Amino acid sequence: MKKVILFLSALLMCLSSMAQSPDLEKVKATVKTEDIKSHIFYLASDELKGREVGTPGIDKAAEYIAAEFKKHGVKPVPGADNGYFQEVVLKQTSLPGKVKVSVEEENFANQQIAIFHGENIEKDARAIYLNYGMSDDYEGVEVKGKIILAKAGAPDQVDQGSLFKLSLQKRGLAQAAGAVALIEIHDYDEQYWNSVKGYLSHNKMALMDKKEPAGGPVHLWVNTDKDIFQNKRKGEELSTKLLIKGINNDRLMSRNVVGIVEGTDPELKNEYIIYSAHYDHVGVGKPNAEMDSIYNGARDNAVGVVTVLSAAENIAKYPTKRSALFILFTAEEKGLLGSKWYVDHPLVPLEQSVYCFNSDNASYNDTTKATIVGLERTTAAQNIKDACAEAGLKAIDDPAPEQNLFDRSDNVHFAAKGIPAPTFSLGFTSFDAELFKYYHQVTDNPETLDYDYLLKFFRAYVLSCRRIANDGNTPVWVEGDKYYEAGQNLYKEQ
């Protein structure tokens, strides 16, 4: 009986192996654990010092990616700069040498202050309390030339993820009203605030050719558990002191890394699938208790880079029917700047770019899944689900739509142009402590990753790429999606 069981087990394993698709065999031939580790341990090494834009570390990462493209036969894109690069022109605004804020004699320490948008300023004045600083709050209040004080968020806000977008809207309102500064008062727990503070405590950047609002008001976030607006009415004045000194603006060059593999089908090769991820991270910060100050960014986003490198090696060796365009973006952490530059200066016509399969990551809390933000928003969903299942994972859609993750990564610039663009991410089922344990922290190191899981994850991505690129049907937005009309306009002549 025991021999029979062993025979049946061996037979099942054999049949299972025989049942594997030809594409999975091709994926297994190129996507291997030793290569995954080699890539991640280099990209997230101390040598690269967190891959911050404007540092030698990110330049080393760019050269490494380009060398991998060349090694595996990925071709330079016609029109690119110096082979595999697309130059991105940035304006860098340095951190100030001195920042001081006080409201009603309450002085705030530097750790409590984060600069969202800054210019040199010195102001000792009566500031206007404007509730949440939303459009209705301006009614009947004159703020031209004044400082606005406002609560963070909005009355109906339930998540932290929309804070940045909401703050941009508030700054726009303050600028339109002629205010010189906007100070938002937050009350967040230490862990979340440290994450925000770390993110904002770096040099700010913008695209040099981007038409920026003329100056715009100074915009600060202040975190305190004191209710400084208690018993205050909208429009009431509070004594406020604001000092920012030492800000400078400089021109800075960075690079997207791009490569191409031509498709095999006489017709479909004129359609391009974009495989993308950002390769920058947040650099070096203050040392933690273990005196580690380098934000290595293994999950965010060395993992994303390796999804693209894995796809590039595989598709270069086994070309797909559709052509492949591989793009590693710079300056995602500075405001999705590299991807914005690309869609404004495309190397392949956008109307020929039929799909963008982005990869961006924070962390994971479920190693049985791959989370695809926007999975059900395009007709490629079934190809992705089937590929993930064949690779040993379950594909799930965005488990936290209230975080608006779809519009917070590089894919959004392609989506806004009309190109279907989901983001393939490590498996997470909720925003919990496990994610924030590594997100923009010095703890996001290569040795903390589960490489058995990553092998399945990268194979799932590459197999998904092959399924989409070889499908006779071009992937499109699901009708009714908010980007559906943009897609119709982009591809209307095809």
User: pLDDT for 391-415, tens place per residue?
Assistant: 999 999 999 998 889 999 999 999 9
Q: How many CA atoms lie within 13 A of 392 on its CB side?
A: 12
Query: What's the chain's average pLDDT?
Result: 92
CATH ID of 22-92+251-490, from 3.30.479.30, 3.40.630.10, 3.10.620.30, 3.40.50.150: 3.40.630.10
Question: What pLDDT was estimated at residue 9?
Answer: 52
Question: What pLDDT was estimated at residue 329?
Answer: 99
Q: Please determine, for residue 6, whether its predicted confidence score (pLDDT) is greater than 60.
A: no
Question: What pLDDT was estimated at residue 303?
Answer: 99
* Domain 98-247 = CATH 1.10.10.920: no
Q: Please determine, for residue 158, whether its predicted confidence score (pLDDT) is greater than 80.
A: no
Angle (CA) 433-435-438 rounded to 5° is: 105
Better-scored residue on pLDDT, 262 or 430: 262
What are 301-357's pLDDT values in tens digits? 999 999 999 999 999 999 999 999 999 999 999 999 999 999 999 999 999 999 999
Q: Please determine, for residue 112, whether its predicted confidence score (pLDDT) is greater than 60.
A: yes
Question: What pLDDT was estimated at residue 17?
Answer: 44
Beta strands in 9-119 (DSSP E): 85-93, 98-103, 106-108, 113-117
DSSP letter at 85 equals: E
Q: Please determine, for residue 4, whether its predicted confidence score (pLDDT) is greater than 80.
A: no
Question: What pLDDT was estimated at residue 159?
Answer: 60
- For CATH 3.40.630.10, list the domain ranges present in the chain: 22-92+251-490
What are 260-284's pLDDT values in tens digits? 999 999 999 999 999 999 999 999 9
By C-alpha distance, which of 120, 69, 399 is closest to 243? Answer: 120
d(CA 421, CA 403): 17
Q: Which residues of 61-88 are buried (b: 16+ CB within 10 A; e: fewer)?
A: bbebbbebbeebebebbeebbeebbbeb
Kindly state the tokens that stand for 189: 């727990």
- Of the listed ranges 23-32, 165-174, 309-318, 407-416, the one predicted with least confidence: 165-174
Question: What pLDDT was estimated at residue 494?
Answer: 61
Q: Please determine, for residue 5, whether its predicted confidence score (pLDDT) is greater than 80.
A: no
Express as a percent the part of the chain with pLDDT over 70: 93
- For CATH 3.50.30.30, list the domain ranges present in the chain: 98-247
| 3-state class (DSSP) for residue 254 | strand
By C-alpha distance, which of 440, 439, 421 is closest to 484? Answer: 421
Cis peptide before 301 (omega within 30 of 0): yes
Q: Please determine, for residue 165, whether its predicted confidence score (pLDDT) is greater than 80.
A: no
Contact 99, 110 (CB under 8 A): yes
Kindly state the tokens that stand for 156: 């109906």
Contact 119, 218 (CB under 8 A): yes
- Mean pLDDT over 218-229 rounds to 92
Sign of CA dihedral 436, 437, 440, 444: negative
